[in-house]
Structure 1
Amino acid sequence: MSASRLYRAAIAAAGVAALLAGCSAGNPETPSGSDAAVTWPDPTASLSGVTLTYWTATQTATMADSVIKAFEEKTGAKINKVIIPDVYETNAPTKLATGAKPDLATWQPTGSELALLKPATGLQVLDGAPWLAQQTPAVQQLGLVDGKHYAAFVNVPSTLGIFYNKEAFAKAGITADPKNFQELLTDAGKIKATGTAPFFGAAGDQWPTQWWPQVLLAEQSKAGLWDKVNSNKEKFTDPTILDAITTFKKMNDDGLFNADNKTSKYTESGPALLSGKAAMVLQLTSFTSLLQSTADTATINSKIGWFPISKDGTTATVVPGGDNALVAMKTGDAKREAAARQFLEFWLQTGYADYIKQANAVSIEPSVESPATVPDVAKAASAALDGAAGSMQQNAAVNPDFYVNLANMVNGTMTPQQVASTTQAQFAQLAQALGVEGF
């Protein structure tokens, strides 16, 4: 799922969450019994006569097709795939609030997005799932709410880092990756002196703007920044976040982005990087797919490199997306709930090697090798998951329209202080709507 879809619907989703809040342990849709007592069926056991409903977004509509086909052939089950129209992050919760409920759904596996589903009463706990111990340790630490696993990761979570054009670096005399953000800015100055735009920004799509302050906050995130923000003990208007916003503003003022940054689009950033129009793009691991849409793996490997960056070092920032994981709903039908667990087992055990090969994706199970056709930059970005900092999307209780406010700043209609104060007000409004303590 494109990152542009992930952050648009926070206000609407918060309102829907209030409707979902009525779901409780006494709800007839909530099955009785302990989560710890669940069983994990044989992945290929017969499910003749069982139909499971699977919700997914437009942009992930075909992601599971090969798995679904194989699962149906092996088990006799029927998977009813329902494509929820855009924007998924708004329309799926709204549909849930009407009483509709799938057995399985693609979902952004962050704390704030999982919270909208009231996981304690609305989702199956996946602790003890046979595939969990087979996944990389970094992935095992994601998809948690109150220490319990509610998300089954099928794809590697995205990390934020710098994709760079090797020729542009060589032209500027840069022979080593920068070791902190100040070194990155120094290198950007060298690149600008050669006549090449150091960074491609794509502020016309708004959402890419948010990545710059977030990588500047990586060390603070690991030190508990978002816990403080979640408890209203620190604000966007306080120096830590405000300074990151101000640094991003100065980068724009210093002309470090493409001249058409205010109107340029994400889809233009891949070709701009490959052609050398711009030297660097700060983006998610999924940016690799954009590169692959216009270049083969050999070309990407020869032209493009990748490194993580943060304020004080090279800490990556993890941003799990809607194409990374599935959730299994509590429906009250024990047979279908078990079948949903069986489908996840089939995908992540029996069929995982075939899925990774078909998807041409990085494997999150060390025993399953990534295809040789996966670009090196995707492998490097995925390797940086180990020790990565949590993003706002991952660790904040709610997700305000930070990116919209930052785009307004790039376009000259907001100051850094206005971005911070507006974002803080939105954060507080969302937190209040979800009943977050301290707001």
Structure 2
Amino acid sequence: MKRVLPALVLICVTALTATACSDPTAGDGGSGADSGSGVPVDPTARLDGVKLTMWTAQNTVNAPRQVIDAFEKATGATVDTQAIPDLYEQNVPTKLASGDKPDLMFWQPSVSTLPFLQPRQNLLTLDKEPWADKLGDTERSLGVIDGKRYAAIVTSPAMLGVYYNKDVFRKAGIAEDRFPRSYGELLKLGHTVKDRTDAAAFYESGGDKWPLQWQMQLQLTDLDRQWWDGLNTNKEKWTDPVVVKAVTTYKDQLLGAGLAQKNYRTGTFTGSADALWNGDAGMVLNVTSFQTQLQAKHTTEEIDRRIGWFPVSNSDAAGLYSPDQTNGVVAFRTGDEKRQNAARQFLAFWLGPDYADYIKAMKIPSVQPAVDSPAGLPGTSLAQLKALPTAHGVFQAKAVVAPDTHLYLADMIYGKKTPEQVTQAIQDQFAQVAKAQGAPGF
């Protein structure tokens, strides 16, 4: 969940033609919107001599390795992965605008990011694929634009919640069965940690900037669907007092109240994991990629002894789900029907006969209720899986544009913007991109 929009805007305005930008799903791909979908595929049918190309980010180039190896062995096909240089979300549209196109690609399956691929024109529709109805309710809601599915959901969306150090909580006298049920209670918990231990209540990553958005996100969960619909049609604004209040609360009641570590302006994502593990911070608010850091360094047993996780929102104890580029895989219209069908077969294999083996190899929860998650997952992962069905969506899953809130929040913590100026900058960028996309009302 990092900076993606400025380059996407530039590409939409200057490279993808005015017609495409006026409607991000314009066109029918030349052969009908449902071309390449609906005809049953055998996941293990022979594909000798067929070569597919799959684009991934540099940090996820190995993510599909297990399924690729199994698919190649089962079918005789070849799947060549190509790592796109960072920043992935900026460089992918640039390559697509130049005419380069893969068969398959990781891409964030959210309403704010999927439209930049012009799915109706460029992607295969996947509504009738055999795995589509097997997804969990939250996963089923992802990858869909205007009622049509354009992305296979291969991993659960990241969960946003609070990671905490169990030893720090014990020293502070905090019972693990009395977690906060609102953002106000979370701040009170932070004061308890601050007052009773030597640890910082929260670790904030101003150096990397992108994690700064999460404290604001928690406070926007009471906004209903009508408000988000209004935002997406230019009837509501990011300058709404409730958003200004969220930014002000973060500035004054968390940072200003000394609840973050002293170097919060220069703190880093990797530093947050080390600080929590060592007990230098009591809590870190972040998404599942934070847990990935822990699992890369420590065993399940070690994590279970030291680290816990709980969900919380503005006025309840629900977590937030946050789509990212590792959740979705799209298949492109290449004009080569044999390759298009092979791409569909690859997805059917991934989410069909290979799925249990894939999630076991990746040590991740299942997106299909009928397929058990692998044994041996850390308690933090199981807690997130339990919280997913009732989770709120982050704004990236609700707004037609995901503005770079973290950049403007960084300006605030560096003393360059007030909360009101932060929300105005967010609104200005949101409106600019929405207008470029041709969103109604802009």
| Both proteins in one fold, TM over 0.5 | yes
What are the equivalent positions in structure 2 for 1:190-201 lying under 5 Å apart? 190-194=192-196, 195-201=198-204
- Which residue of 409, 424, 427 corresponds with 1:424? 427
User: What does 1:293-332 align with in structure 2 at a 5 Å threshold?
Assistant: 293-332=296-335
Q: Give the letter aligned to residue 267 of structure 1.
A: T
Asked if 1:233 corresponds to 2:235, the answer is yes
Counterpart position of 1:355: 358
Q: 1:378 aligned to 2:374? A: no
Matches within 5 A, 1:286-297: 286-297=289-300
Give TM-score, length-normalised by structure 2: 0.94
- Unaligned 5+ segments in structure 1 are none
Give the AA of the match of 1:260: N
Larger mean Cα displacement after TM superposition, 114-123 or 9-18: 9-18
1:393 is aligned to 2:389: no
Name whichever of 341-350 and 299-308 sits farther off. 299-308
Q: Tell me by how many angstroms 1:75 deviates.
A: 0.9
Q: What is the CA–CA distance in structure 1 between the aligned matches of 2:421 and 2:225, rounded to whole Å?
A: 26
State the one-letter code of the partner of 1:14: V
2: CA distance, partners of 1:272 / 1:27: 50
Superposed, which structure 2 residues align to 1:106-185 within 5 Å?
Answer: 106-175=106-175, 176-185=178-187
Q: Structure 1 residue 40: deviation in Å?
A: 2.7
Distance 1:65 1:207 in 2: 28
Equivalent of residue 20 in structure 1, options 7, 16, 19: 16
RMSD: 1.9
Measured in 1, the distance between the counterparts of 2:349 and 2:432 equals 41
SS at match of 2:381: helix
- CA 1:33–1:140: 2 relative to 1, 3 Å: closer
Given the alignment of the two structures, is residue 272 of structure 1 paired with residue 268 of structure 2, yes or no? no
State whether residues 103 and 340 of structure 2, in contact with CA within 8 Å, keep that contact through their aligned partners in structure 1.
yes
What is the CA distance between 1:166 and its match in structure 2?
1.6
In 1, Cα distance between the equivalents of 2:299 and 2:275? Answer: 16
Residues 139-196 of structure 1 deviation map (CA, whole Å, 9 limit, x = unaligned): 1111111122111111111111111112212221221111111111111111110232
4+ residue segments displaced more than 4 Å: 21-29
> Helix, strand or coil: the match of 2:361?
helix
Distance across 1 between alignment mates of 2:170 and 2:33: 62
Q: Secondary structure at the match of 2:352?
A: helix
Partner SS for 1:105: strand
Distance change in 2, residues 1:347/1:312 (3 Å): same
What's the offset of the Cα at 1:37?
5.7
Give the SS at the match of 2:222: helix
Taking the aligned partners of 1:154 and 1:201, their CA distance within structure 2 comes to 30
Q: Give 3-state SS (helix, strand or coil) of 2:344's partner.
A: helix
Task: In structure 2, list runs of 5 or more residues that go unmatched.
Answer: none
Q: Is the 8 A contact 2:33 2:120 kept in 1?
A: no
Q: State the match for 1:91 in structure 2.
A: 91
Per the TM alignment, residue 320 of structure 1 is displaced from its structure 2 partner at its CA by: 0.5
Q: Is the 8 A contact 1:288 1:375 kept in 2?
A: no
**What is the distance in 1 between the residues matched to 2:42 and 2:160?**
37
Shift of 1:321: 0.6
Measured in 1, the distance between the counterparts of 2:182 and 2:172 equals 18
2:334 partner SS: coil
Q: Distance in 1 between matches of 2:199 and 2:243?
A: 30
| CA deviation string 1:64-99 (max 9, x = no partner) | 112111111111112122211111101111100111
Does the CA contact (< 8 Å) of 1:273 and 1:281 recur in 2? yes
Secondary structure of residue in 2 paired with 1:111:
coil
The one-letter code of the counterpart of 1:247 is T
User: Bigger CA drift: 34-43 or 58-67?
Assistant: 34-43
Letter matched to residue 174 of structure 1: I
Give the CA deviation at 1:346: 0.6
| Matched residues, number | 433
Aligned equivalents of 1:432, 1:133: Cα separation in 2: 34
Q: 1:37 to 1:183 in 2, by over 3 A?
A: closer
